[in-house]
């Protein structure tokens, strides 16, 4: 396995918290999201 590819994969698998930005060029599989909804 290529070490660069393995490094990118491990970063992409991390779940990013609110306000935490992934490294430039990395598209994570999962991220936490914040949703503002109007009261019903």
Burial of 14 (0-12, 13-18, 19+ CB in 10 A): middle
What does the pLDDT average to over 33-40? 82
Structure tokens at 33: 């999201």
At residue 31, the 3 state secondary structure works out as strand
Token pair recorded at residue 6: 């393995």
pLDDT in tens, 18-30: 888 888 998 888 8
Share of the chain above pLDDT 90, in %: 2
pLDDT at 21: 85
How many CB atoms are closer than 10 A to CB 11? 14
- Domain extents for the chain? 1-40
- Does this model's pTM top 0.85? My answer is no
pLDDT score, position 14:
75
């Amino acid at each position: 396995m290529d070490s660069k590819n393995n490094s990118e994969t491990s970063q992409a698998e991390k779940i990013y918290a609110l306000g935490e930005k992934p490294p430039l060029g990395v598209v994570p599989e999962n991220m936490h999201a914040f949703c503002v909804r109007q009261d019903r």
